[in-house]
Structure 1
């Protein structure tokens, strides 16, 4: 390990690291990643390639990404605290920050939403167990916004989030939760995610204040910059490689021909008690992006949104463009098949958002008081959403359960 460039920086242990989006942002904020872990082999190959390339950390003179980082391929359940400490460190060593986002599919609207009943939904307990062993000064936890209203098996909306907060409190950590939209911090993507800060023996960090707004120019948000649009973003990107370009073929040409930007081909959903005509939406693989807005959330699928050029030609966003929308440097060469690359990209934390969070963690480490912190109350909107979800479940729960049973029978 290069001690001159790494040991002098605050330390980070990264769990469920994926392709490294969270680590990019935290290293830009000044942290050194001591160890990083993921179960996915292609993610680990990506991180190994990053180490080989020695990619400079933007804003950190002399630092390269994942310099000397221990890369640990395997499940979080198989890890011990000693695996995550620097080589030769004793049992008293503790990182400044433990960060990660356990798999989000059980709670995501893009998945089956089985929540804690899905084995992956319990992986946060492994995160808590390792936090208890390592006793980091601060914790950063990330997940999908669906976690705010995710139900425990007894049907309580918000029960999973309460369980997560309770689990961290039981090992001595106070918590603070918030939903943040990456577009509000200058990213060219409307990506809303749930974040948690936790502290054991110092002030709880505050979340960063937005720097951008959809309504910039309104007198109430006059100091904020306007959102960065997808059109602005694409104008600064190199021409996509021909092998990365996907254009519509067959029936798709007709289906997409008359779409207005910001709309897609409708998909009829489940007929529900309060929606007798069906709960429809747009098909995820047939949506035409609005270039005057930030991109929609980048998903872990090979069917990103379509974009239309000035001459009317249609193509999908390429995997390299999606990676850039997620804040990955151009030198960050993702490994594996195209499908794996899209999965790594869509599952990542947006790196520019992570850098803003990292700055708040860094402020706490450098200037925070040594105190016994108390958990912050839920943001007011969390309580409203939990109550609405409970009411809505009473109205449509039986319809949805029947529909799920039909889908599972159909395979």
Structure 2
């Protein structure tokens, strides 16, 4: 049996919207592989998306890091916090402050179904080991790690039956953590995008063994909570507002002019659908981002002459970034960092479930406002 089957225990869920965390004690967080800050914004909270408030969370980001210079520039502009632009493999641990929580989406391209799937055989695929190094340095009470769903099937090595996830879970557990993972779909939390990600929670063994994940707030047909948010609901108001001075990252310079090629099956040669969440926004799209579901004044919807690729703001909306989050870099760099990001709204739900997991004692041993589901 695959080890990751063992680690995927019957999960506990908590209704993160029902949690009352506004006045709770703040937890210090070290953020790794921070990118432009999707996960960090979710942990911080205090933003609006599509008319809904995502209240401030009791976390304080005390350190952030990424090797991507453009992403760190965007991060600093939006958070007012200077991150360390350096490879995690080269960082001196002495500059990293102690913290109770370590979060990070270690690089995923080598595990992605859409990539070359080098997995743990590549240096980049083993960067999670440096996350472990930081977790040990901080003596963190808890960590949250994120990666693509493909990590569950990518083989650790060609001659082994175990997967990359098997190895990663065992390595996290070896340093003293109860470890669990769950595959979350961003659409289940109000993000207008179907984006499945493996979320690994680890809690130091001397603290707790019960781990809680966020209960879905949305479902495909709306049978459980609200229906998935569609692309049309998320971005339709932006269609005819290119170059509107009041909308960030939505000018004629903020969408790709890459050509479409009729009759060919190739990356970026398709459109999103209006009546369902967009597909996964990927970092590797670069200029070949999908086309909008609308067309420019051409009755034949299949005539690519009328197609326009999604703008930076439209991609940011589909990833649930608030409209005041400004990508102050080139379009190509912005597409990449948006595609790499954890959707902030999903990150917000993850953050609150992590807080509850770690701080259940704040509720005097009783589950008060949250609803907890087991299955």
TM-score (normalised: structure 1): 0.70
Q: Name structure 2 gaps, 5 residues minimum.
A: 1-21, 46-56, 243-250, 299-305, 365-374
Q: What SS does the aligned partner of 2:280 have? A: coil
Counterpart Cα distance in 1 of 2:325 and 2:159 = 42
Per the alignment, residue 73 of structure 2 pairs with: 45
Q: What SS does the aligned partner of 2:269 have? A: strand
Counterpart Cα distance in 1 of 2:236 and 2:292 = 13
Correspondence 1:64-83 to 2 at 5 A: 69=81, 71-83=83-95
Q: What SS does the aligned partner of 1:341 have? A: helix
Per the alignment, residue 16 of structure 1 pairs with: 33
Give the deviation of 1:246 after TM superposition. 4.7
Give the deviation of 1:242 after TM superposition. 2.8
Per the alignment, residue 224 of structure 1 pairs with: 225
User: CA 1:287 to 1:96, structure 2 compared with 1: closer, same or farther past 3 Å?
Assistant: same
Counterpart Cα distance in 2 of 1:324 and 1:23 = 17
Per the alignment, residue 405 of structure 1 pairs with: none
User: CA 1:136 to 1:341, structure 2 compared with 1: closer, same or farther past 3 Å?
Assistant: same
Counterpart Cα distance in 2 of 1:346 and 1:15 = 17
User: CA 1:123 to 1:330, structure 2 compared with 1: closer, same or farther past 3 Å?
Assistant: same
| Range moving further from structure 2, 158-167 or 343-352 | 158-167
Give the deviation of 1:302 after TM superposition. 2.1
Per the alignment, residue 57 of structure 1 pairs with: none
Per the alignment, residue 299 of structure 1 pairs with: 282
Give the deviation of 1:363 after TM superposition. 1.3
Aligned alpha-carbon RMSD (Å): 2.6
User: CA 1:128 to 1:233, structure 2 compared with 1: closer, same or farther past 3 Å?
Assistant: same
Give the deviation of 1:9 after TM superposition. 2.0
User: CA 1:6 to 1:34, structure 2 compared with 1: closer, same or farther past 3 Å?
Assistant: farther
Give the deviation of 1:155 after TM superposition. 3.5
Q: Does 1:324 align with 2:317?
A: yes
The question of whether the paired residues in 2 share the 8 Å contact of 1:13 and 1:35 is answered with: yes
Q: Does 1:359 align with 2:370?
A: no
Per the alignment, residue 133 of structure 1 pairs with: 137
Q: Does 1:30 align with 2:31?
A: no
Give the deviation of 1:154 after TM superposition. 3.8
- Between Structure 1 and Structure 2, the one with more helix by share is 1
User: CA 1:339 to 1:30, structure 2 compared with 1: closer, same or farther past 3 Å?
Assistant: same
The question of whether the paired residues in 2 share the 8 Å contact of 1:203 and 1:368 is answered with: no
Give the deviation of 1:157 after TM superposition. 4.7
Counterpart Cα distance in 2 of 1:289 and 1:328 = 18
The question of whether the paired residues in 2 share the 8 Å contact of 1:175 and 1:198 is answered with: yes
Give the deviation of 1:153 after TM superposition. 1.9
Correspondence 1:236-315 to 2 at 5 A: 236-237=237-238, 239-240=241-242, 241-246=251-256, 252=261, 254-255=262-263, 265-266=264-265, 283-300=266-283, 301-309=286-294, 311-312=297-298, 313-315=306-308
Q: Work out which of the two has the higher radius of gyration on C-alpha atoms and give 1 or 2.
A: 1
The question of whether the paired residues in 2 share the 8 Å contact of 1:197 and 1:204 is answered with: no
Q: What SS does the aligned partner of 2:71 have? A: helix
TM-score (normalised: structure 2): 0.77
User: CA 1:137 to 1:41, structure 2 compared with 1: closer, same or farther past 3 Å?
Assistant: same
Give the deviation of 1:8 after TM superposition. 5.5
User: CA 1:127 to 1:333, structure 2 compared with 1: closer, same or farther past 3 Å?
Assistant: same
Q: What SS does the aligned partner of 1:189 have? A: coil
User: CA 1:33 to 1:155, structure 2 compared with 1: closer, same or farther past 3 Å?
Assistant: same
Give the deviation of 1:129 after TM superposition. 1.3
